[in-house]
Structure formats: structure tokens, C-alpha cells
Structure 1
Amino acid sequence: MRSSLPWAIIAAFLGFVIWRNGRNSRNILVPTPDLPDGYYAEGPHKKHCTIIRDTPSDSMNYCEDAAFWERVDGSGAVFDKVMLLSCDPSRKSWNTVMGPLSDPSSRGALWIYDIANADAQPQQITLEGYPEGHDFHPLGLDIYPSQPNEPYSNLFVVNHARHNSTIEQFTALVASAQPRKLVAPNALALTSPTSFYLTHDHRFTRRLPGVLGKTLPVIESILALPLAWVTHVTLTDTDATTTTTTTTTTVPPLQPATTTHTEIVASRIPFPNGVAISPDGTQVAIASTTLGEILFYTRDIATQALSLRARVPTPFAPDNIMFDERGSLIVAGHPYFQALVAVAANSTGARAPSWVVSITPSPTPPGAGAETDAWDVGVPVPASRKVPRVPGYEMRTLYQSDGSEFSSSSTALRDARTGMLYVVGLYQGGMMVCSPMKLGISW
């Protein structure tokens, strides 16, 4: 059953509340009619961007997250990598964040895509031996790089199953971790093969019984209440024995993992969503969807403690985030929240815009970085029109669409070596690949 208060009204009221509080994120609730059909920073959209699908089944749809799976040599240099995607075609019937919670019976899936092969098609990963009665609705995911002489990696996936959310570990076995403070898990970033930062996007969830589940999460969102948090989780008893890097992953039946330590490392965040660790390990970025901000933290590598360093507003509601190899944070999100809600509700003619930016730390000399300085220029809708500049951080638009070319961008990855941009959408079929060089030309 749908909530009696339409989400469009909720989103509008949320805009008023944020405006009243002087938050930059009010921009995410104001339509931007001049967004282009499709804009790509490195060249004409039609020549440089294409939608990749799994033909002929065309079942790789509604992908929420993606990550590069890297193989490194003895010096730590990456010599090969593929892309993993977390998709759930049944998202419009089972979505524990936005709703509805009507039918959890269909399963989502994980996919693998060989980014080095121009002719490759995405392949669904088959989880042989995965318990038949165990739901699989994947959301955030992250995977640890394959080390020399260790071709197997630990993959962790947030799973929004019907009764409760779990963290699924895939290596030689599958484990379901349920730490005490695991309430509304959303995204994760690995700090070792068996530990990770984990965002919890709400304090109150739609899983609460009766009217509580229909009202408390909405109130938390409407008032942008800073009730959510980020934890660091360490697991044991998760040793690998066998696995594969192909489209088939062999796993024995579900077994419980042991949670040895769960600690809150960042708190009082409205709707913490994506989380990412910088290449040198010294910074952690967290996306606050409700406030339209990226929170940058200084990380103590020894203790995993986080200290807030800066807040960088984004011209949209940020979803998932990922650092590229050169230290730029790639952020995908939703510039018009009401449109996303309308798409989720199957409203006729609805389409959700997409926006992707890079945020690069850059020392700013004294007196520079004034709001009057030109930045993010040459873009149909520059970020400078929506949010102020933050000294020490350079924002650049990589992709924009009004939803007609690509809808509901939720995650974007950029390969710093090739410049290739990969984007998936929460309610978009397939994934988009944009190349700095014209498509069809190999590197």
C-alpha cells in the first residue's frame, strides 16, 4: 500500500524546509528545464557515449552501484581490471529506501563487464549453491583487489532482503553479517579484505510495522534530521578456499560470519549514502543525499577514525561516489528529486535527470576561489549556477542529461588511465559508456 501522502508533496515540503534552513541542497528540488538531452564533457554525446546492454536477454537493468575489480602485481601496480555491477530489475516492486515494499520474491543480480574488450557484453554472475530461499536485492558493493598469487578477492554486497538487511560476502563462501547496529545499510568501502566502512542511510526505516514504517522515515527525510551514521565493521571467520573470476562463482550454502568489531566513526549525518576512500588512504568521502553535500574526512589509517575536513555542496542529490586513481572524486546523483520519485512510481511520461561531476582537491592560493570567478564553464547547466565554490576543491561537470538519453544516474566510475566514464542508473536499462575518443577507436 502506498503512503497516503504523495511523495511529490513530501519532496516539495522538503525543499521548503531546506530553503528555510539555508541549505544549498534546495537546488535538487527545483526543476532545471535547460538540462540537455545529453552532454558529455569530452565531446558530442552521440559520438562518444553509448548504452551497453546484455543482449538478447536485456535483463541488466536498474543498476544502483558499480566498482572496478583490480588485479595488482607485487609492487601494487594495477595490471588488469574488470567492472562489477549491482542490479535489481525488481526495484519498482521492492525498494526499502524509497518504497514500495510490495513484492520481494524476484531476485537482483551481480554482473561483470570486461572494460578492456571493446566487443564484450556484460555477463551475469551465477552464484552456484546460493540458498534458494534467500532473497537477493543488491545495493552497494565493493571488492578488494586481487593480490599476487591470490587470484581470489573478497566481495561485499549490501542486500536488502525481505525480513532484514544483511551484508553478503562472496569469496569461496557466502556469509551474512548482521552487526548489532546494522539498521539501514546502503554503501560500503573496503579497508581490508575483511573490514569496511558502511553507511546507514536512515535511523527509521520502512521496515517498521504499520504506520511507523509509513511515517517515521518520511519525517526523517522531510526534516533532514541528522540521525544516521557511518560505521567501521571488521569480520573474522571468512577465509577463502575457492572462487572464480569468470561469470560463474561457486559458493557453498549460507553461513554466518563473525562480527568482531563495529564502531561508529561518523554520526549526525542526514541520509549518508555513498562512501569512498582516496587512493592514498588518507581521506574518506561520504555523500549526504538530503543536504546535497559531500563530506570529506581525514582518515587515521591505524584506527579508522574520521575527522571532518570539509563540506562541498553538489548541484544535485549525490548518490554513490568513487575516487579515481588520480584522486578525483567522481559523484553521480539526481538533480530533481521529484522526477526520480515519479519514475519510481511509474508515472506516465516521467523521466529522471542525470548529473555526474568530478571533485578534485586543489590547493587554492590566497585570494583565489571567489564566487565571482568562472568555473565549470562551457556546460549547458554549470554547477556554478547551483552551488558556491569551496576553496581547495575544483568541481567539473562530466555528464548531464534531462533523462531522455540517460536516466537516474546513481554511480559513475572513471578510469584515469583511459579517461573512460561508466555510468549506471537507478531506474535505467543497461549502463552507459562514454569515451574521450570517438566510439569504435581502440586505445
Structure 2
Amino acid sequence: MAPTRSIILIGLVALAGPWVYDKYTGFGQMFLKNTPAKLPSMNAFSSYKVLFQDTIRNCEDAVIDEDAGMALLSCDPGRDWWNTVMGTFISSHKEGEIWSYLYSQIDVEDEALLHPLGRHGFPADREFHPLGLEYEPASDTVFAVNHASSGSGIEIFKLSPTREHLLWERTFIHPKVHTPNSIAAINEHELFVTNDHYFLARNFKPFSKIETYLGLPLGEVLYVNLKTNEVRTLARLGFANGVKMLNKTTLAAASTSGPDVYIYSIDPETKSLTQKLKIRVPFAPDNISVDSNGKLLIAGHPYPPTMEVVSSTNHEYDLDNANDGRKPASERPRAAGWIKEWDGNPEGKTRDLYIGAEYGTTCTAVRDVKRKMGIITGLYEKGILVWKE
């Protein structure tokens, strides 16, 4: 029996070895190389500025309409108390909002260019904690992942003809869409959606953490048909996060605990996915975006421990100048951010656009190629960073 057990043990080690090595060279290396003392600070911008710090904060996602010179921002100051991904469940009463930013105007710093869109017709008994955001311009449809305390779902809105408010149409909830995070619209009724975890942090917090830090491939990329209610799993990856279509036949999906971005070819008929490429990045990728030149912008978090500290303590600091006895905002912990650009070539060439803690917890970067500018959002930051190239 002893030789048999030894053979089995050797076989298990041989099978697990490549997986362990991959986790060590990827997610594990972040803990060794990206400590705050070691992390460099740089940016590739001609200029940049953090705007609207007294108006918006905790903006998770952003999408732009380059033709209109408009950005939509998914912001939630209540994230300090309620974050179903990071596992913060103190209170869900302070809600979020989708904001419109008309950055194409001459004075991009003008506060008048930024306004909340509101949610006309939205159910009064359902909270709004927006996360992933998508805009389908052909139909003026806005999709928003909502992590309400009553259950996560996808809110479907129409942008009004004046682009001044949102008209709520319905909430899509499905048992297979149990941890929605990010959305990529094929059209107004077909979507790619990521489930970031198999274990919900609100129900199985320890298992959710284990799933994250071991990089278990239990997250999903889903095909969702809003007309037929069809939901299919297309791919599995660890902590499935941002998802975007590079073009009609190519999809990119971020694995936060990879840390990788997967590139898939899309079957035009079945929408099934075939992996073409895996891009490894030196940080935990969050949301991704594609500019009009086909370049992929990858935003993320270089050192998970500091991100964990910020997510668990941000509520202790008076970020809204409420003078309510909380600690001064100037004393709050910081977590750096990292933005990379992939040029779209199969060789997987990338370059750094931003690394630093001046504007941290970076989770989305979007670019307007025509106007040579871009926007970065921070999951636990005040305002947004606007850069010029």
C-alpha cells in the first residue's frame, strides 16, 4: 500500500505544481514586489488633476461616449459601509448614483459639467449601490450592476433624449447571475456579464476570501439574454472582474486573482468563447476599457493588503466633512493604483500609464482618443483623475 500512496502523492504534486507556480509568479509576487515602500511612482501624462473631490467619491466604473464627449460615472459614497465584493456589511442605507460628466466642454474643471442623472421610476423600496456600468449608444440603454441589500441584479435604464436623467425600465435578477460585477453589451438585450465569485461574501465571507487569495477559477463570464432570460456560463476564471468587447469578435475579461486579462474570440452565432491569449499584469486587475484605437486600458490594485485596510476602515474617516466625530479625512489609509495599456497585438505588449498613491484604489481608466484625454476612477477615492496626453 505504501508504494501506491507514494505514487498517488507524487501524481498529485505533479498535477498541482504548475498551478502553484502560476499562483506564486502571479498573485503571490504582488505581495513581495509591490509593498508601499518598493512601489515606484510614475505617470505618462502631459498633465493631470483630481477634480470634483467635494462632489463625488467612491466611483467604481466609467464609460464614455466619445462622439458626445460625455462620461457616465458609477459612484457610491455608501461603499464605505456596504461593499458586497470586499465583504463590508455595516449599513446599506447610504446609496449611490450615476453621474454625467460633459468633459468635451472647454473648461473641464467646471462643476456645472457634472450632474447626477437620477433614476426616474426606480422602485422606492430597492436600494441602489452601483458597481459595473455599461452604455449601449445605439439604443441609449444604460446597464448598471446593483448590489442592493435585498439581492444583486442588473438595472436597465434609458438615457433621456436630453441626456439629463435616466428612465428606469426594469431589474434583471437571475439565480445564475448571483455575484454580478461587470457588463459588456453586445446590443440592447444581449450581454456578457461577470460573476466575480462563486461564494457570496455576504453569506460565506471566509470561503469568499479563500476563493480570492487562492485564485480558484470559480468566477464566471456569462452570456445573458434579457429577452429570453437565457444565462450560460462561457468561461471560468479566478475573481472574474472587468469585461469588455475589443470588437465584435473579441472579448477581454480580467481575473483579479490571476492576475491576468484573458482575450477570447467570440463565436458570432453561439457567443461561445475560445481563449486566444492571456496577458499577465503585475497587479490585481479590476475594470478594463477599450479606446477607439482598440487599445485596452487595465486598471487595478498593486498591493491587496493595503486595499483590504482601506475597504475595512474608510467608514471611520469624515470624508464628507460632516463633523460627526469621525477621524479627519487627512489621516485615512491610502492604497496605490496602477494603470496599464495593452496595444492590442498578439505579443501582448503593454506600457504603464500611471502608478502611485496620490490617486489610489484605481479601478477604471477610460480614454477619449480624439480629445487626447482620459479619466481614472478610484474605488475609495474622492473625485476623479482627469489627464491630458
Bin the TM-score by the shorter chain.
0.7 to 0.9
Distance 1:68 1:188 in 2: 14
Distance 2:375 2:222 in 1: 28
Relative to total residues, which structure has the larger strand share, 1 or 2? Answer: 2
Give the number of equivalent residue pairs.
341
Secondary structure, aligned partner of 1:291: coil
CA contact under 8 A between 1:28 and 1:334: conserved in structure 2? Answer: no
Amino acid at match of 1:353: A
Amino acid at match of 2:343: T
Aligned to 2:234, which of 262, 265, 268? Answer: 265
Aligned to 1:136, which of 117, 120, 128? Answer: 128
Which residue pairs with 2:71 in the alignment? 83
Over residues 383-411 of structure 1, what are the superposed CA-to-partner deviations in whole Å (9 max), with x where a residue is unaligned? xxxxxxxxx1110001111x1x2011000
**Alpha-carbon distance change, 34 to 421 in structure 1, aligned in 2, over 3 angstroms:** farther
> How far is the alpha carbon of 1:351 from its aligned partner?
0.8
Over residues 46-80 of structure 1, what are the superposed CA-to-partner deviations in whole Å (9 max), with x where a residue is unaligned? xx1101107xxx2310000000135xxxxxxxx42
> How far is the alpha carbon of 1:28 from its aligned partner?
2.5
Aligned to 1:102, which of 59, 79, 90? Answer: 90
Over residues 357-402 of structure 1, what are the superposed CA-to-partner deviations in whole Å (9 max), with x where a residue is unaligned? 1011236xxxxxxxxxxxxxxxxxxxxxxxxxxxx1110001111x
Structure 1 position 411 matched with structure 2 position 377: no
Distance 2:240 2:194 in 1: 6
Q: How does 1:303-342 map to 2 (within 5 A)?
A: 303-342=270-309
Q: How does 1:60-71 map to 2 (within 5 A)?
A: 60-69=56-65
Amino acid at match of 1:300: D
Over residues 282-308 of structure 1, what are the superposed CA-to-partner deviations in whole Å (9 max), with x where a residue is unaligned? 210100001110011111233211100
Which residue pairs with 1:35 in the alignment? 39
CA contact under 8 A between 1:85 and 1:112: conserved in structure 2? Answer: yes
> How far is the alpha carbon of 1:106 from its aligned partner?
1.2
Amino acid at match of 1:299: I
Amino acid at match of 1:282: T
Q: How does 1:239-318 map to 2 (within 5 A)?
A: 259-267=228-236, 269-278=237-246, 280-318=247-285
Distance 1:29 1:118 in 2: 43
Aligned to 1:421, which of 349, 374, 377? Answer: 374
Aligned to 2:28, which of 19, 26, 35? Answer: 26
Secondary structure, aligned partner of 2:79: coil
CA contact under 8 A between 1:229 and 1:272: conserved in structure 2? Answer: yes
> How far is the alpha carbon of 1:423 from its aligned partner?
0.1
CA contact under 8 A between 1:199 and 1:230: conserved in structure 2? Answer: yes
Which residue pairs with 1:50 in the alignment? 49
CA contact under 8 A between 2:74 and 2:99: conserved in structure 1? Answer: yes
> How far is the alpha carbon of 1:125 from its aligned partner?
1.1
CA contact under 8 A between 2:23 and 2:214: conserved in structure 1? Answer: no
Amino acid at match of 1:40: N
Distance 1:195 1:141 in 2: 15
> How far is the alpha carbon of 1:264 from its aligned partner?
1.2
Distance 1:104 1:190 in 2: 28
CA contact under 8 A between 1:23 and 1:291: conserved in structure 2? Answer: no
Which residue pairs with 2:320 in the alignment? none
Distance 1:282 1:20 in 2: 28
Relative to total residues, which structure has the larger helix share, 1 or 2? Answer: 2
Which residue pairs with 2:328 in the alignment? none
Secondary structure, aligned partner of 1:407: coil
**Alpha-carbon distance change, 18 to 324 in structure 1, aligned in 2, over 3 angstroms:** farther
Which residue pairs with 2:5 in the alignment? none
Taking every aligned residue pair, what percent have the same amino acid on both sides? 33
> How far is the alpha carbon of 1:343 from its aligned partner?
1.1
Distance 1:159 1:113 in 2: 21
**Alpha-carbon distance change, 356 to 104 in structure 1, aligned in 2, over 3 angstroms:** same
> How far is the alpha carbon of 1:182 from its aligned partner?
1.0
Secondary structure, aligned partner of 1:91: helix
CA contact under 8 A between 2:121 and 2:168: conserved in structure 1? Answer: no
Distance 2:229 2:205 in 1: 34
**Alpha-carbon distance change, 86 to 18 in structure 1, aligned in 2, over 3 angstroms:** farther
Gap regions ≥5 residues in structure 1: 1-16, 71-78, 147-151, 237-258, 364-391, 437-443
Which residue pairs with 2:338 in the alignment? 355
Distance 1:181 1:396 in 2: 36
Amino acid at match of 2:37: P
Distance 2:256 2:20 in 1: 12
Distance 2:192 2:22 in 1: 32
Distance 1:204 1:272 in 2: 12
CA contact under 8 A between 1:419 and 1:435: conserved in structure 2? Answer: yes
